[in-house]
Amino acid sequence: MLTETEVCNLVLEAAGKSEKELPKPRILALRTPALELLSKRVKESADYQGMQKDFSVNPVAGRVDLSAITNILFDLDHARVRVASTNQTLTTVDSHETLESGQLPSDQVYYAQDGRDLVILDGNGSIVAYTTALKIKANFIATLAAADLPDQYSKTWIATIVELLTPAGSEAMETTKAGGA
Amino acid sequence: MISANAVERALRLINPVPTEKEQTSLRTALNVITNDARVELARRVANDYSKITNRDLLRTTFASQTAVAGVVSLAPLFALTEPLLREEIQSADIYLTGVTRKLQLLPDRAALTLDRPLGFAYGALVGSDLYLKVNGLLGTFASGVVVSGSFVPTFTSIIPPLDEMFVQIMAEMVKPAAKAV
């Protein structure tokens, strides 16, 4: 991931401005909002897999609380849920109602999103019993602390910071915040 | 065959190729219809006299049931994991202990009361109960009844070449849903 100096120099260059016009602290303060905006945009793009990683979770009574997973950007259509130890893929269904009443085959484990939770139907037909450790491959919000922005997005990150320095860019950030993850 | 394989194979038969988001909906639909598809497979195979070898793959001899006072309940056979295919009972071979000739199924109980040649066994299915007339006598037979007939297979019994037919049935059944998404 780019250093502070690299970010500042690249932003100044891309914006065509001097350090006097764009003070360093202002640029640095926009690194995190730009990472968030970039992460959310990647999640919505066709290239969403470029910013996916595995999150380890331990279901409790057949549920996984997505809101308790730091920096996950979960999308039911794009995420993959697998058993941590075997890599066996759990099958997505569209709703809690399908889990309960869909008479699904018992040779698979199914899950559905229910608000901020994932609900899991085990092979015995119970939706309150599954506890096997899982990993969720999903999009994530890159952070400075984790330095986990893939190199391929460095240029886009710089462009996003430059975008946020403009009034239109700030509006884009506000829209994304209002829309949530 | 396992249900996940059937679902993924059926998904590949759907044209035009669904997007990733559509695949999520279709996977749900395919998983939900698996039970109906198993019944439809049993129905088609039972009626396909051109492929007698396939037909035999979904026929079995069920455990003997005991008649009491000329009535035998077939409810246990309809409640099995691989149940007797009720609508194809006419094509089942039913034998009574001590009677060499195959039981002749009649359309209803009234038909049982008519005079019939002796030496034959007759029966009429009412609900899950099979009423029997043996040697001209109603309400007397009290011994074993063995049914050989078509059954609805679990995934374990859907072996080649039935698997291909099963996958096609699933794809056909989900076609309206595929058009809608």
> Per-residue pLDDT tens for A3-29?
999 999 999 999 999 989 999 999 999
Element (H, E) at B22: helix B20-32
C-alpha to C-alpha distance for A91 and A100, rounded to whole angstroms: 14
Q: What is the pLDDT of residue B49?
A: 85
Longest dimension (CA), chain A: 66
In this prediction, residue B175 carries a pLDDT of 83
Q: Quote the pLDDT of residue A180.
A: 47
H helix intervals, B33-159:
34-46, 52-57, 75-78, 109-113
Q: How far is CA A32 from CA A36, A173, B36, in A?
A: 6, 11, 52
3-class SS of residue B96: strand
Q: How would residue B21 be classed by pLDDT, with cut points 50, 70 and 90?
A: confident
Distance CA B44, CA B162 (A): 11
- Please tell me the pTM assigned to this model: 0.79
Contacts of A98 in chain B (CB under 8 A): 28, 31-32
| Residue-wise pLDDT tens digits, B55-74 | 999 999 999 999 999 999 99
Mutation target among A80, A100, A104 for the B interface, most CBs of B within 10 A: A104
- The pLDDT of A68-75, averaged and rounded, is 96
Task: Give me chain A's average pLDDT, please.
Answer: 92
Q: Is the pLDDT of residue B181 over 60?
A: no
Is the torsion defined by CA of B128, B129, B135, B137 positive or negative? negative
Asked if residue B18 lies in contact with residue B27, where contact means CB atoms within 8 angstroms, the answer is no
- pLDDT for the residue numbered A181: 45
Helix (H, G, I), strand (E, B) or coil at A160: helix
SS3 at position A88: coil
- For the cut 90, the answer to whether the pLDDT of residue A175 exceeds it is no
Which DSSP state fits B91? Answer: G
- pLDDT reading at B179 higher than 70: no
Residues of B in Cβ contact (< 8 Å) with A93: 27-28, 31-32
A78 touches chain B (CB under 8 A): yes
Closest partner residue to B20 (CB to CB) among A77, A93, A108 is: A77
Q: Is A101 on the interface with B (CB under 8 A)?
A: no
Q: What is the mean pLDDT of residues B148-165?
A: 95
Exposed, middle or buried by CB within 10 Å (0-12, 13-18, 19+), for A107? middle
pLDDT tens for A101-151 read 999 999 999 999 999 999 999 999 999 999 999 999 999 999 999 999 999
Our CA-based measurement puts residue A94 at a distance from the nearest CA of chain B, in whole angstroms, of: 6
